[in-house]
Amino acid sequence: MTTSARHAVPTPATSAPAGRAQGRTPVHPVTFPRLVAAEWVKIRSLRSTWWALALAFVLFPLLAAMRSASVATIADDAPPGFFVGPAYVTSGVTLALLVLCGLGVVAVTGEYRTGQIRSTLAAAPTRLPALWAKLTVVVGLAFATAFVGTLAGWAAAAPWFDEIGMGVDLTDAEHVRLMIGVPLYLAAMTALAYAIGAVIRSSAAGITAVLGLVFVVEPAFAYIPWEPLQQLAGYLPTAAGARLVTSDSIGSIVTGSGATALGPWEGYLVLLGWVAAALVTAAVLLRRRDA
φ/ψ (deg, to 5) at 18: -60, 145
Cα–Cα separations (whole angstroms), residue 192 to 70, 207, 282, 283: 34, 12, 10, 13
Q: How many CA atoms lie within 13 A of 24 on its CB side?
A: 7
Predicted confidence (pLDDT) per residue in 193-242, tens digit: 999 999 999 999 999 999 999 999 988 888 888 888 888 888 999 999 99
DSSP helix/strand/coil, 158: helix
Name the more confident of 46 and 125.
46
Cβ 89 vs Cβ 157: under 8 Å: yes
Whether 53 contacts 146, CB under 8 Å:
no
Q: How far is CA 51 from CA 61, 102, 113, in A?
A: 16, 12, 20
Segment 123-140, tens digit of pLDDT: 787 889 999 999 999 999
User: What stretches of the chain adopt beta strand conformation (E)?
Assistant: 246-247, 251-252
pTM exceeds 0.75, yes or no: yes
